[in-house]
Amino acid sequence: MTFLQPFIEFDFMRRALLSCLCLSLSATPLGVILSLRRLSLAGDALSHAVLPGAAIGYLFFGMSTLAMGVGGLVAGLLVALVSGIISRTTLLKEDASFSGLYMGALALGITLISLKGSGMDLLNILFGSLLAVSHSALLTTSLICLTSLLMLRVIYRPLIIDTFDSDFLRVGHRPLAIAIHGLFLFLVVLNLVAGFQILGTLMSVGLMMVPAVSARFWAVRLVPTMIIASIIALLSSFIGLLLSWYSALPAGPAVVLCSAVFFLVSCLMGRANGWLARHSFRHSGASS
């Protein structure tokens, strides 16, 4: 078991793996629901929307995890609220309104950080510092994971009804539908804030969305899809951290790169919707 030596010997490697485990359990299932609601772009947009708030926290308090986390949460929720208002008062769909906001938020965040910070601070905020996760950051991520899972359990049934039959819930229970959607976006932003502290604003959405869309090639039912997505995210984290250790690669990008490799493999070999499965089905159908 020599390849496990980094996790056995070094506390910072264990903290990095545990923080990724928390994100795999809480953020990735949310990514599955985002993809089913055709809001995959919203995850990317909200990860960028976190940046201006984090930058404001950085300007006033430096590299304070708490200040940047609170600022990022407020900024992400504000962008989600503005996007919802735009989609309900104009002809734009919600994903289109997100696309109109997220690049501006990203540019604003980078500008604010550049006013005070160094290039290294900017890189840490954008790409994270997975191997420098502190005990306090791990504790915060664990609490966010637990809170997210509990809240998801509470709103799970109406959220799934709204996902698969939005008209049913919105016609008879419109206030409930709006509240459920708002709580769901709150959970997404909360997990992106946790991911931002570990993987940075640009990489955090990778562990939320890439395993989620990969899992849809392996299962068609929702709960198995979520479980497979979390397993893919955890395997990507484990392999990515080992690659980072033995190949001197940046840890966060290595984790997301591994999840992208899993996605390509899933596209090809996934037994539910993969290319080989579909090709085999068509071939057998043509033969019969």
pLDDT (tens digit, 9 = 90+) per residue, 255-271? 999 999 999 999 998 88
Is residue 253 predicted with pLDDT exceeding 60? yes
Q: Rounded to two decimals, what is the model's pTM? A: 0.87
| CA gap 148, 176 in Å, rounded | 19
Q: What is the pLDDT of residue 225?
A: 94
Is residue 288 predicted with pLDDT exceeding 70? no
Q: What is the pLDDT of residue 200?
A: 81
pLDDT (tens digit, 9 = 90+) per residue, 105-117? 888 888 888 877 6
What is the DSSP track for 21-36?
Answer: HHHHHHHHHHHHHHHH
Mean pLDDT (whole number) for 245-249: 89
In a 3-state reduction of DSSP, which class is residue 159? helix
Q: Which of 11-25, 109-123, 185-199, 236-250 has the lowest mean pLDDT?
A: 109-123
Mean pLDDT (whole number) for 182-209: 87
**Which DSSP state fits 248?**
-
Is residue 281 predicted with pLDDT exceeding 60? no
| CA gap 51, 233 in Å, rounded | 23
pLDDT (tens digit, 9 = 90+) per residue, 23-67? 999 999 999 999 988 877 777 778 888 888 888 888 888 777 778
* CA nearest neighbour of 60 among 101, 110, 98, 113: 113
CB under 8 A, 24+ apart: contacts of 146-152: 147/190, 148/26, 148/27, 148/30, 148/187, 148/190, 148/191, 149/25, 149/26, 151/183, 151/187, 152/26, 152/29, 152/30, 152/187
Q: What is the pLDDT of residue 280?
A: 67
